Chain A
Amino acid sequence: MASITTTNPSGEGWRWRLGKLSPYLWILPALALYFVFKLGPLIGGLVLSVLRWDGIEDPVFVGLQNFERIFSDDIVGLALTHNVLYALGTVTGKILLALFLALLLNQGMRGRAFYRTSLFMPVVMSFVVISILWSWLYNPDFGLINNLFKSLGLNFLALNWLGDTNIALLSLIIVDIWKWYGFHMVIFLAGLQTIPSELYEAAKIDGASNWQQLRYITLPLLKPVMIVNITLSLAGAFNVFDIPFIMTQGGPANATMVMAVHIYLRGFKFYRFGYSAALNYVLLVIVTLVSALQLRLMSSNDGE
């Protein structure tokens, strides 16, 4: 059978080919960015993880030595523990707070747009600005938080927020929740918009209370959105760097050391770029497994 491209003298052939190619051409810029800023470094990091390189001498191939070293690195276990605690704290805090606010803001009320915008503001603020701001808020002597507690006669709540090894991590968790709850709130709001109002009307007619409506209508139908929010939150908790690095640098006495800070220090303070890359890949595997497990658990009760 003759091909259109060779038999049609009016040029329909190249147009046909262009038509086939055009979807790929449209996504080519995004693909190029993805390759340059995601895939490329991913592959480059894998290569680096099997080398010993201090940024000055020539790199030396060491096989899996960098990965073996991880098992004897005391800080890795400590940092991972902190990441798990951080995840538990921030995911719980963000999801509960975001859901609560989304339910509140889904009501018809005056100034709803203003509230939604205001509550979203921390999301668009720079991590550095937020970290410095909260460092001063937490200052035990001059900070607003302790001075507020003292002025209310609640001196027992005026704590050494970033200097006490027992509560420093909790202090960072609070900052993270404050930074991101607005983001998750917006996602929940979008999910709430998709729930048909007829369901609530029918439930009211059947005499369902607000709590019953929440439990039997809202929450089940919000499940897909919940999965998204928890997945994003979990991944963020295991990758957290900015807040602990700027506010505590992993201290005091490693009380807020997390994997990303540990990786950064190994690479840029101790010049062990190969080991740092290996740590990064271990973290990638951990985050992938945790996310996969979470998705499986939450999807396993789907009726589909």
Chain B
Amino acid sequence: MKQLSRRDFLKATAGAAGASLLSASPFALNVIRAQGDYQGKFVIMSAGIAEQNADLIEGIQTKFPGIEVEWRGLTSEKYVELFTASEVAGDQIDLMDLNGQDLRRYAVGGRMKDLSSLTYLDRFRPIGLETYTVGGTLWALPNGGISGFPFFVNRKALDAIGFEGDPESYQDLIDMSPALKEAGYAPFVHAGQNIYLWPIWQFWGYAQSSGNNAVEGTYSVLAGDTKFTDPEHVAGLEFLYRYAQDGMFIDSVNSLDVPAAQLAFTEGKGAFWYHHSSFVGTYRSGEYPNLDLSFIQPLRSVEDTNVMRQLPGGTGAAVGIYSKIAPEREEIALAILDFMTSDEMTTIRNQNGADAVSTNVNVAPSDDPLALRYAEIGSPAQITYLDWYWPPEITRAFQEHQQALVAGTETPDVAAQGIQDAMDELYADGYEFVS
């Protein structure tokens, strides 16, 4: 037998060591795993931040050992641009946990898988499934709470001026505003610097000015049958303009972002705050000695008392599967989607958010008093956010022109014309509304 030289021995052991390292490398492991159940990184592109979804992330990783969830909290405001950047860069994308506002774009753009054939759809309230059906196809599952934007009230402010009960109309606000200001409260706080939050004023305003036909009216205007310069739309803008012209907003409204607006409201600088119902969860988890939180439906701004005081809301997050997901992850994606929207995980999500009504039929709502109040007066008055139907150019047009209304640099008819101009430009580019 030939004796091994030292060189040959070293070569052989180096080769064996190299082979061992290679077989243990992530690359090799993924190659092996690709042929069986997937294990490894799983990316969820979410409008919510990881800290608020820690329970869910832990739940997924416990339920599916070997799966490492990478939760990317893009936020609602920046979801589209950050998602686009990731997609163009070729990043891994598996599940999309969207704000419902963006669903239409991704559904129509072929970025989501058809979920119509899932077998557990009876788990969800029909309104959620209807909302996330575009062009006859279900693109995402509703998850979380049916929530919206009520007018939050600091009852300490109303107590300070001796106002009992709930105001109902804009005239009530006008009547109480001198006393509020004297007591040190601005009538309304709003995060005006965050341009993303201005359209919610049109949502409730147009709901009233259209006689509670806001969704139908939106379909009509996007299809080109009516215009944003028609009286009902202009009237919605007029309501916001009056709030600003009548001095109902805190002076710093256009320089407040959400944290600053929250601080102003919770520190007793404002009597009302138009914000999302999820703030109830924040209120419960913090200490706010200057705040006694309640809420009402948006104040009536029309004469007709038969018109409901509707508030804009949504049917939870829209959770779907990225259409270009790697084939080896498709099966695990379906399993995780099922788990994320299960009654068990949705219950946790609803409790954390103090949601009044769950997207899941068999999940009991939160027992928080404010959640119960929302179930009583909020969700029955809810209409879908209109920007879930608007193209992004129209959303931006409303944002800019509404901010201009509040700043006093535009009047409602000028703002309406600017929005219609944006719509006309879209038609010229070949825009077609898909219902």
Residues in A lying within 8 Å of B, measured CB to CB: 54-57, 135-136, 138-142, 160-165, 248-255, 264-265, 267-271
Contact = CB atoms under 8 A, between A and B. Distances in A.
B87 A55 contact: yes
B409 A253 contact: yes
Contacts of B396: 265, 269-270
Interface of B: 80-81, 84-85, 87-88, 109-111, 192-195, 250-257, 260, 263-264, 267, 269, 392-393, 396, 400, 403-404, 406-407, 409-410
Nearest to B257: A135
Given A142-B263, A163-B255, A249-B194, 17 more contacts: A55-B84, A55-B88, A139-B252, A141-B264, A141-B269, A162-B193, A163-B193, A163-B254, A164-B254, A165-B409, A252-B192, A252-B255, A253-B407, A268-B80, A268-B84, A270-B392, A271-B392
27 contacts: A56-B110, A56-B111, A139-B252, A139-B255, A139-B256, A140-B255, A141-B252, A142-B260, A142-B263, A160-B255, A163-B251, A163-B254, A163-B255, A248-B193, A249-B194, A250-B195, A251-B195, A251-B254, A251-B403, A252-B406, A253-B404, A253-B407, A253-B409, A254-B404, A265-B396, A267-B81, A268-B84
A27 to B, nearest CB: 28
Contacts of A265: 396
Contacts of A255: 407
B76 to A, nearest CB: 13
B252 A160 contact: yes
B251 A160 contact: yes
A252 B254 contact: yes
Contacts of B256: 139, 163
A249 B257 CA distance: 11
A271 B260 CA distance: 30
Contact of A249 (B88, B193, B407, B409): B193
A295 B88 CA distance: 38
Given A253-B407, A254-B404, A268-B80, A162 B109 contact: no
Nearest to B264: A141
Nearest to A248: B193
Contacts of B250: 141
A265 B395 CA distance: 12
Nearest to A264: B81
A160 B109 contact: no
B84 A162 contact: no
Contacts of A250: 195
A139 B260 contact: yes
A253 to B, nearest CB: 4
Contacts of A160: 251-252, 254-255
